[in-house]
Amino acid sequence: MSEMKKIKNLKEFSTSADRFEGANLLCPGCAHSIIVREVLNATNDDMVLSASTGCLEVCTAVYPYTSWDASWIHIGFENGSTAVAGAETMHKVLKRKGRLKQPDRNPKFVSFAGDGASYDIGFQWISGCMERGHNIMHVVLDNEVYANTGGQRSSSTPIGASATTSQAGTHSYGEKRNKKDMVSIMASHHIPYSAQVAPNKWKDMVKKIQHGFSVDGPVFINAASPCTTEWKFDPKDTMHLADLATDSLVFPLYEIIDGRELNITYRPKNVVPVEEYLAAQGRFKHLFKDEYKYLIKEWQERIDENWAYLNRREEARV
Amino acid sequence: MAFDKMELRDVEVWDGNMAASQAMRQAQIDVVAAYPITPSTPVVENYAGFLANNFIEGEFVMVESEHAAMSGCIGAAAAGGRVATATSSQGFALMVETLYQASGMRLPIVLNVVNRALAAPLNVNGDHSDMYLGRDSGWIQFDSYCPQDVYDLNLIAFKVSEDHDVRLPAMVHQDGFMTSHTAQGVHTLDDDTAYGFVGEYKPMNDMLDFDHPVTHGVQTEEDWHFEHKARQHSDLMTKVFPKIQAAFDDFEKLTGRKYNMVETYDTDDADVAVVCMGTSVETAREVATEMRAKGIKAGVVGIRVIRPFPFEQIADALKGLKAIATLDRSNPNGTVGMLFNEIAGSMYNLDTRPMISGYVYGLGGRDLTKVHLTELYTELQANVDAGKITTPLQQFIGVRGPKLSFL
């Protein structure tokens, strides 16, 4: 049966055996590696992992090196989910045929991908995997931008962020469209479990990942991943940014069971104004000019509205 | 075993699609991930039928696109088991990215390609456009001329592709409709004999061996990329032919049916020959025999293994001829046809070589008739008589309007 780790404090967490090595090429202060470690540390079971093309992939498997002490595959930008779905299917067959080399193991199949690889180019592949009911977990490392290719907008980039293809300038405040609500879309596949997590709330994350591993069927996890390079903040402030993201409710933490039951899993004691979250990042710097301040007000209203919506759903058990 | 064997007659009446499905069933594939497209759809429909009636113990995953089909096949193959699928045309084109990934990751997968034209304009009928699109993708490519070949070459493809010295995916081509939907007598092997020929799947670097974790699909830049690609090419050029030959030999011992890298017909004493692929080979053989009755010493050369390309065998088969025609069933779009190029390249440095003229035919399912081939052989004989090529270097056969020719 599944073996989940019991981790009581951060020290235990940080000293547990790594299947993802610190030796990698990710930027100092990158949240991706923190999230990945938190996911892998949630279980002692064997893992079959994939990474779609992106920062995580190019920084962790540069021949002749690898940062992965677990089975790992990368095919392309769009199909990491389907890669682990294929492996999961093979596992099912070989188990039935009695051909597994270690039949007593209970492997977990996890696909990691950025928001570009999930919200945009890999959208169809993930939807297919969710609909077909593979026993896999797809984790989005959501930094709201194509960071690996140098900061282009994705459909996860929020209004007002300056990205290289939606630049702030004398006649532009940057991105004009709002972030796609991917968690809702995935939950609408009526999969057993979907959730939003953040690396600063590691206990919440581990609990959700462990729950995800315990259910039978596809799991979708959207992980807020503050990007020091493209959000433009000091690498030492990654966790501070994650705190601002969760406590301003820009990244509310919640879960959806079977696509039909929403639970808010974290309620900040002191809700931080969205303005503070925006002010901490260079990508929103221009919003503080007089002509764009209305956008900050709109941001706050949008976040308030979304929080009210999530609360209504929780209250109504839908 | 939890699944049922199927009792087959010695000769079954199968079309090319059923021949492929039956070979896949007998190979006891672990995972098929597939998406429907005309004319290859029946391959996976038949397979789903086997599944529904307990003739298969593996998994059949009906995915949401051909790209996902090959992506799932890659994941499944990397996990460590036997994998196959089928596609055609636009589906093949959508798969192309993953075809390079499958071969670059050295994963044995068998892909049945039921050849069909590529849009635009949209067309569901057979030509070799998809086959040609795949020719640089690092896959082994076998070509069938009839349903019997489809059945036999599928079994052979698994054996070659999965060999640990090879570990490269393989395509088995058949002509859309002309082979895929035309029922013929197919000599069968019983389930145990067929499986015995293919052999048990032997995993290598499998992701499900948790005591030996493997990283698949790495990043390499200018420091290592070239070495990886060169190694893949080197294995295709040096290791694959001996393995194919060994598989052909074993298959002949088992069945009496003999396959060759290059299939020659009446070429030993011939003056002229056409070189072609697919169903056209059988038509050309019939016409060549008729030409002999008319005093033209005609032969036919069929390509059986398209990749790796059998340069030596081609040179051997053609060097004594006086004039040959290459028949390409794919639009060259601004150059000579692939076969013209490859065959000219294989013979250019020989002391004796035939004159070569190129023909483009059959696009979008247009028939290649015996009349076309009779005219073609007559043109080749005219070249022989004149001691030089008397026609343009590239001609289109069977296209409406004034005769289309170039070069």
Asked whether residue B2 is assigned to any structural domain, the reply reads no
Are residues B401 and B302 located together in one domain of the fold?
A: yes
Contact with chain B for residue A45, Cβ under 8 A: no
Per-residue confidence (pLDDT) for residue A312, from 0 to 100:
98
- Alpha helix segments (H runs only) across A63-190: 80-96, 115, 123-132, 182-187
Tokens in use for B335? 């150059």
The count of structural domains within chain B is: 2
- What's the average model confidence in pLDDT over B352-376? 97
Instruction: Say if A131 is an interface residue toward chain B (CB within 8 Å).
Output: yes
Cα B316 off chain centre by: 21
Q: Please compute the mean of the pLDDT values over residues B110-129 and round it to a whole number.
A: 98
We report the CATH number of the domain holding residue B314 as 3.40.50.920
Say yes or no: B295 and B202 in one domain. no
Predicted local distance difference test score (pLDDT) of residue A13: 75
ipTM of the complex: 0.96
What percent of chain A has a predicted confidence (pLDDT) above 70?
A: 98
Range scoring the smallest mean pLDDT among A21-25, A163-167, A308-312? A21-25
Q: What is the pLDDT of residue B17?
A: 98
Is B5 inside any structural domain? no
B273 and B125 in one domain? no
Whether residue B313 sits in one domain with residue B190: no
Residues B273 and B224 reside in one and the same domain: no
Could you tell me if residue B46 is inside a domain? yes
| Residue A3 maps to a domain | no
Look at residue A196 and tell me if it is in a domain: yes
**Strand, coil or helix: what is B203?**
coil
Same domain, B142 and B269: no
In a domain, B235, yes or no: yes
What is the Cα–Cα distance from A33 to B283, expressed in whole angstroms?
Answer: 62
Task: Please enumerate in sequence order all residues whose Cβ is within 8 A of that of A55, keeping only pairs 6 or more positions apart, or say none.
Answer: A26, A30, A32, A114, A141, A143, A147, A148
Q: Is B239 within a domain?
A: yes
Express each pLDDT in B148-172 by its tens digit: 999 999 999 999 999 999 999 999 9
pLDDT band at A3 (very low <50, low <70, confident <90, very high): confident
Q: Which residue among B61, B98, B214 places its CB closest to the CB of A89?
A: B61
So what's the pLDDT on residue A17? 66
Q: Say yes or no to pLDDT of A225 above 60.
A: yes
Residue B81: both structure tokens together: 């088991």
User: Mind listing the pLDDT tens digit for each residue in B283-308?
Assistant: 999 999 999 999 999 999 999 999 99
- Domain housing A312: 11-316
What CATH number does the domain containing A45 carry?
A: 3.40.50.970
Q: Do B304 and B231 belong to one domain?
A: no
Of the residues B255, B280, B306, which one is the last residue of a structural domain?
B255
CB contact under 8 A, A73 and B30: no
Total of domains in chain A: 1
Cα(A141)–Cα(A252) distance, rounded to whole angstroms? 15
- Which pairing describes strands B140-143 and B110-115: parallel, antiparallel, or unpaired? unpaired
Q: Are residues B230 and B277 in the same domain?
A: no
Pair (B282, B305) in one structural domain = yes
Element (H, E) at A209: helix A202-214
Query: Which band of pLDDT confidence, cut at 50, 70 and 90, is reported for residue B311?
Result: very high
pLDDT at B1: 55
CB B64 within 8 A of CB B35: yes
Would you say residue A70 lies in a domain?
Answer: yes
Specify the pLDDT at position A8. 78
CB of B78 within 8 Å of a chain A CB? The answer is: yes
Picking from B231, B255, B279, the residue at the C-terminal end of a domain is: B255
Q: For residue B368, is it within any domain?
A: yes
- Residue B3 included in any domain: no
Q: Nearest residue of A to residue B67 by CA position?
A: A79
Higher-scoring residue by pLDDT: A12, A145: A145
Query: Which pLDDT belongs to residue A11?
Result: 81
Is B162 found in the same domain as B208? yes
Tell me how far CA of residue B99 lies from CA of A10, A42, B72, B96, B368, in angstroms: 44, 35, 12, 5, 30
How high does pLDDT run on average in chain A?
Answer: 96
Residue A6 has pLDDT above 90, yes or no: no
B287 lies in which domain range? 262-406
Indicate which CATH number applies to the domain containing B56.
3.40.50.970
In-domain check, residue A2: no
Closest to A87 (Cβ–Cβ): which among B75, B98, B215?
B75
Last residue of a domain, one of B232, B255, B278: B255
Place of tokens 């010493």: B297
Alpha-carbon distance of B185 to B183, in angstroms, equals: 7
Dist. CA B114–CA B367, nearest whole Å: 17
Please state the length of chain A. Answer: 318
- Give B52-82 pLDDT, tens digit per residue: 999 999 999 999 999 999 999 999 999 999 9
Q: How many residues make up chain B in this entry?
A: 407
Pair B150, B228 in one domain: yes
Same domain, B68 and B187: yes
| Cα B265 to Cα A300, B172, B347, B373, distances in angstroms | 79, 22, 19, 15
- With a cut of 70, say whether residue A317 has pLDDT above it: yes
In a domain, A20, yes or no: yes
| CB nearest to A93's CB, from B59, B73, B105 | B59
As a whole number, the mean pLDDT across chain B is 97
Q: Which residue of B has its CA nearest to A84?
A: B75
CA distance A24 to A35: 14
Distances (CA, A) of B40 to B16, B19, B157, B173, B184: 9, 12, 18, 11, 17
| Joined tokens for residue A112 | 């990691």
Output the pLDDT for position A77: 98
The mean per-residue pLDDT over the stretch B398-407 comes to 95
Cis before A64 (ω within 30): yes
